[in-house]
């Protein structure tokens, strides 16, 4: 397979201003050891795009095109969130602003717990899944964005546990590790998370 053209351009813009997300991507990209500089869009004074899509895929593409248009460089964007089937898939694409204020993790977690209260039954788990969709565009008008999707299934706890991670990590129970996502180390999480799985598919596309 020939080398992707964007790899020869020297840099790739990461279309995010979320500190927690940027930290995770920094760790994941270090493992890939790509011959390009990964530049968070904030370093280029690029503000967040208006996410008015109705799916993770749509919003990831919107963000990638936005960053690519304003930077003139190839861009990769992540749209991710928590989906709880019993809530019809909510918070879904609205995960970061579920309680109204964008990025207020504590409020979002409290709203999720409150919304799940009527569904709690003794001895029954409430399933949830983290979803990550990566969209890579070589330029703003790229007619064929590359899409990489990762899904991480777990359970929703009744109370927060752990201090690591961000977002809904303290409420996401990882049965195979017998801990919450917020109790995993950065290294452990990157191996099994939705973002880690999407990045593995991204890595495979480069081979």
Catalytic residues: 79
Closest CA to 115 of 82, 91, 131: 91
Residue 51: left (phi > 0), alpha (psi -120 to 50), or beta?
beta
Closest CA to 132 of 67, 87, 176, 181: 181
Q: 146 forms bridges with which residues in the sheet?
A: 136
Residue 66: half-sphere exposure toward Cβ, Cα within 13 Å: 22
CA–CA gap between residue 83 and residue 129 (Å, rounded): 5
């Amino acid at each position: 397979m020939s080398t992707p053209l964007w790899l020869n351009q020297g840099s790739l813009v990461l279309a995010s201003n979320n500190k927690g997300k940027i930290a995770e991507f920094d760790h994941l990209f270090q493992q890939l050891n790509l011959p390009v500089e990964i530049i968070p869009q904030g370093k280029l004074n690029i503000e967040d795009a208006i996410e008015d899509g109705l799916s993770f895929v749509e919003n990831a593409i919107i963000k990638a095109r936005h960053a690519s248009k304003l930077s003139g460089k190839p861009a990769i964007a992540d749209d991710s969130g928590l989906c709880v089937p019993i809530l019809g898939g909510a918070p879904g694409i609205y995960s970061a602003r579920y309680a109204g204020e964008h990025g207020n993790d504590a409020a979002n977690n409290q709203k999720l717990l409150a919304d799940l209260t009527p569904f709690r039954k003794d001895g029954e788990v409430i399933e949830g899944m983290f979803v990550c969709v990566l969209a890579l565009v070589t330029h703003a008008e790229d007619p064929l964005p590359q899409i990489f999707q990762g899904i991480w299934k777990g359970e929703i706890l009744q109370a927060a546990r752990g201090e690591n991670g961000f977002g809904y990590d303290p409420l996401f129970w990882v049965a195979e590790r017998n801990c919450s996502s917020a109790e995993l180390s950065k290294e452990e999480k990157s191996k099994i998370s939705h973002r880690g799985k999407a990045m593995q598919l991204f890595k495979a596309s480069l081979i």
